[in-house]
Structure 1
Amino acid sequence: MATITQQEVAPLHQQLHVTIQKEDYLPAFEKALKEYSKKANIPGFRKGMVPAGLVKKMYGSSLFMDEVLKQVDQQVNTYLQEQKAEYIGQPIPVSMDLGQLDMNKPADYNFTFEMGLKPSVQLPDLGSASVKRYVVSVDDAMLNEEVERLRSRYGNMTEPAAVDNDENVLNITFTETDAAGTPITGGVTKDNSVLVRYFKDSFRPQLQGKKTGDSLQVAFDEAFEGQEAQWILQDLGIDSGTDRYFRLDITKVGFVEKRELNEEFFTQLFPNGDVKTEEDFRNKVRSELETQWATQSRNQLHHSLYHVLLDGANVEFPKEFLKRWLKTQGEKNEPKTDEQVEAEFPQFLNQLKWTLITDKIATEAGIDVQPEDLRAFAKQQLLGYMGMSALDEEAEWVSDYINRMMKDRKYVEDAWNQIQTQKIFDWVESQSRAQDTPISREDFIKMNEQHQHQHH
């Protein structure tokens, strides 16, 4: 019977000494030989009639090694389960002398593995953390700007010959380039519609007189700023980073005749709301703006709390083991170089630390994701796709969509992770004492832009 002993190399760094006796693997090897004899396809012999001695001579060494290593792997896994060992990364071999394996002289074989144990996590005191919940107030100027934006967005389009005012709409193909204007392989290429007034004041004179077919080479930071820059980046599918270059190809020049503020327009925008008058409409728009800014503020708070946890949690890692383990994670069974490991290790350690932190929070706070959470998540996504604020979940097409999503393994895994992460941050936020801090829209945007520059 196999024996396994455990020895400490360093804190949280262990070695497993494994001795496999021939009685552990020999019966399986002999069985494998017989099975292979039945299946072997060797010229000159009928299938199933190949002499066992020939099979052993031709394939025995390979089958012998497979059975020994299979038994080693099985014994190590059984041992770890019985010991209820909490380890990080799979055990990796330290001494794996395959030259000792000889099918003609079966014997007891010794192997050595090393593994890292899961460290304890000491969370910081969230209640004493200095974090702010920024409150962006929606003033009349912001409200008027949004009302005008909606009137333009849903207005009637005309096509003037050239750009002649800040309210012109440009259909543009954005092509990401380098500073010299050469398109970047794998860079962003996307069509978008942009109001001339979304460009920076200093840049707009370059657009006057431009016609369909004209092109401009721009540095993104020189062309856009503030909230408008964030809208453009979002439309282009870019998460962050404004230090980019683009070629702008104008495919159409338009002008929008703004919609009248009447009940037809109100009902189009809010079909499920009782919006009859301009006052109702403005109140509804203000409420939605407040919700949008509250969401952005909460995202910023959660980001701050992420750093409180990551920077403040006390976790000791078996770093030397982890570096050796990371080295084994190369592609195509090729180990990573020492330089690759050193370059990747800080980010790898942060990701591992965050995983341990969230595992601890989920366990201590009793956070779990239930089937009804997944269904609600799918429904909410469907609302977003449809641009609606409510759906009848009893409607057959809605339930069919949700049921189909629940059978998509990847979708369920991704949804599960997103829901658990949100629940974890909800709990973390409830434990903190964030201080409500008024801030202007401009300062909030500038603060986020500065943060993005610091992290890129």
Structure 2
Amino acid sequence: MNITKEQIDDLNAIVKVAIDKSDYQDKVDKILKDYRKQANIPGFRKGQVPLGLIKKQYGRAVLVDEVNKLLQDNLNKYLTEEKLDVLGNPLPKQQDNFDWDTEELAFEFELGLAPEFEVPLKTKKAITQYKIVADKKMVDEQVERILKQYGKLVNKEIVGKKDEVTGTFVNEAEEIEHRTTLELDKIKSKKALDALVGSKVGDTVKLNTKGLFKEDYLLSSALDITQEKAKGLKIDVDFTISEINEREPAEMNQDLFDKLFGKDTVKSEKELKERIKKDSEKQFEQQSDQKLLNDVTEYFIENTKFDLPTGFLTKWIQMTGEEPLTEEKAKEEFEKSEKGLRYQLIEGKIIKDNDLQVQFDELKEFAKGFIKSQMAQFGQMNPQEEELENIAARVLGNQDEVKRLSEQLMSQKLLNLYKEKANLKTKEVTYENFVKEVYG
């Protein structure tokens, strides 16, 4: 067997494979002899079918199969040994009236080659790294929510401006009948507030759904309808009051602190606010990190210039899908996937140049950290090491989970690299301003 490469240009090449009859004939003959031993053909005893008949019936199929195996194995070996960085897979060139009976079989494959390029991590343009801070307003609001959450309900006879009112919404035409509890401090409509305040148990108040709540998403849960139906809904609904409660805030004392953070972890209102600020900002880090990763990714895609073997890749998409595509459709598919392909190449280059690797031990520790954070959400703050080891072993026994966690860990390694090497400018913002600036 002889394999040679003809370089067309920097991004395209042809690999030629010449297979001599001696490369496959022994294997073909052995398979056909085995077929003969097992063949059941009318008129012949088992194992006594003439080999010529076996060759006539099965010879071509066996030959093609063995040659394809040789092609696949040796072509892959050649690409690896020659260190050819190919995109997609080699595409066999169409050969009309191919003669399988010659002493030497010749095949040609088109290759699309990955481009050569550099990715300077020290970006020319400074990229914003957001540091989200919990300001006094946010901390005070969180303290107020905690006191309210851990407080107690006091039954009332008349609705006040900050009460919680339980009742049933009804609109027969829209088939709405749903019992819910309204927190009046979440009501936006002044007309609705005026109608509710001063009402008593048993009263029915007519409310209009348009602009009823400060947050639009609250309407769908209040009426038990879909978000789609709630969007822009403008109807009158009857709200019949069945219960009125005032939520009396909890006392700011050690008993509350212990319920929130464990015994004697926090011992004063000042320490409570410091802990809330610290915990909030820790949660914000994930959002600011994701924003930074997205922005660096976009920067590299926009500013790392290289050509792709567009013609080859379009042809590859056209020929290798579940169903063959027209050339026009293949071009559309390539255009859709080009940005993702470019970043795959850029990311691969960064990983290779900076020798970023995911070792099993660090993957296991990463998995344990992920498991620990999941358990904390359900109140298990201090799981035993043995328990974490056992759960991690089960998780890492699932190849899909290994792939998912490996990708997350590599993203973390890339993020750390960008924080160290990229040209970043830190911008300190409140969470409210971060949302406005990033999401509009």
Q: Shared topology, TM-score over 0.5?
A: yes
Amino acid at match of 2:397: K
What is the correspondence of 1:258-297 to structure 2 with a 5 Å cutoff? 258-271=249-262, 274-297=265-288
Return the offset for 1:76.
Answer: 1.9
Q: Say whether the 8 Å CA contact 2:131–2:285 is kept in structure 1.
A: yes
Whole-angstrom distance in 1 between the partners of 2:229 and 2:161: 23
Q: Say whether the 8 Å CA contact 1:199–1:224 is kept in structure 2.
A: no
After TM superposition, the structure 1 stretch with the greater mean CA deviation from structure 2, 115-124 or 43-52, is 43-52
Matched-pair identity in % = 28
After TM superposition, the structure 1 stretch with the greater mean CA deviation from structure 2, 348-357 or 41-50, is 41-50
Return the offset for 1:314.
Answer: 2.5
Matched, 1:344 2:333: yes
What is the TM-score normalised by the length of structure 1? 0.74
Return the offset for 1:426.
Answer: 0.9
Pick aligned residue for 1:354 from 324, 343, 353 = 343
Matched, 1:26 2:25: yes
Whole-angstrom distance in 2 between the partners of 1:377 and 1:400: 14
What is the correspondence of 1:296-315 to structure 2 with a 5 Å cutoff? 296-315=287-306
Q: Which residue of structure 2 aligns with residue 381 of structure 1?
A: 370
Matched, 1:428 2:418: yes
Q: Say whether the 8 Å CA contact 2:372–2:383 is kept in structure 1.
A: no
After TM superposition, the structure 1 stretch with the greater mean CA deviation from structure 2, 419-428 or 438-447, is 438-447
Whole-angstrom distance in 1 between the partners of 2:332 and 2:12: 22
Return the offset for 1:169.
Answer: 9.2
Q: Say whether the 8 Å CA contact 1:122–1:314 is kept in structure 2.
A: no
Return the offset for 1:257.
Answer: 5.8
Whole-angstrom distance in 2 between the partners of 1:122 and 1:306: 15
Whole-angstrom distance in 1 between the partners of 2:84 and 2:109: 14
Q: Say whether the 8 Å CA contact 1:124–1:308 is kept in structure 2.
A: no
What is the correspondence of 1:55-454 to structure 2 with a 5 Å cutoff? 55-97=54-96, 99-102=97-100, 105-124=101-120, 126-153=122-149, 168=164, 201=188, 205=192, 223-224=215-216, 245-247=228-230, 258-271=249-262, 274-331=265-322, 334-386=323-375, 387=377, 391-394=382-385, 396-450=386-440
Whole-angstrom distance in 2 between the partners of 1:203 and 1:124: 57
Whole-angstrom distance in 2 between the partners of 1:447 and 1:75: 55
Q: Say whether the 8 Å CA contact 1:218–1:245 is kept in structure 2.
A: no
Q: Tell me how large the CA RMSD over aligned residues is.
A: 4.2
Seen in structure 2, the aligned counterparts of structure 1 residues 382 and 34 have a Cα distance that, compared at 3 Å, is same
What is the TM-score normalised by the length of structure 2? 0.77
Return the offset for 1:285.
Answer: 0.7
Return the offset for 1:81.
Answer: 2.7
Amino acid at match of 1:141: K
Seen in structure 2, the aligned counterparts of structure 1 residues 93 and 259 have a Cα distance that, compared at 3 Å, is farther
Gaps of 5+ in 1: 172-180, 182-192, 233-243, 451-456
In terms of Rg, which structure is larger?
Answer: 2
Q: Say whether the 8 Å CA contact 1:132–1:434 is kept in structure 2.
A: yes
Amino acid at match of 1:447: E
Gaps of 5+ in 2: 168-173, 175-179, 197-202, 222-226, 232-238
Q: What does the per-residue CA deviation read over 1:57-89, in whole Å, with 9 as the maximum and x for residues that have no partner?
A: 333222222122222223322322332222121
Q: What does the per-residue CA deviation read over 1:276-296, in whole Å, with 9 as the maximum and x for residues that have no partner?
A: 333222221111122223432
Return the offset for 1:445.
Answer: 0.6
Return the offset for 1:199.
Answer: 6.4
SS of the equivalent of 1:72 reads helix
How many residue pairs get aligned? The number is 402
Q: What does the per-residue CA deviation read over 1:115-172, in whole Å, with 9 as the maximum and x for residues that have no partner?
A: 11121222145243221223333222111111223344555679999x986775999x
Whole-angstrom distance in 2 between the partners of 1:41 and 1:203: 90
Seen in structure 2, the aligned counterparts of structure 1 residues 345 and 119 have a Cα distance that, compared at 3 Å, is same
Q: Say whether the 8 Å CA contact 2:37–2:46 is kept in structure 1.
A: yes
SS of the equivalent of 1:398 reads helix
Amino acid at match of 2:382: L
Whole-angstrom distance in 1 between the partners of 2:156 and 2:53: 87
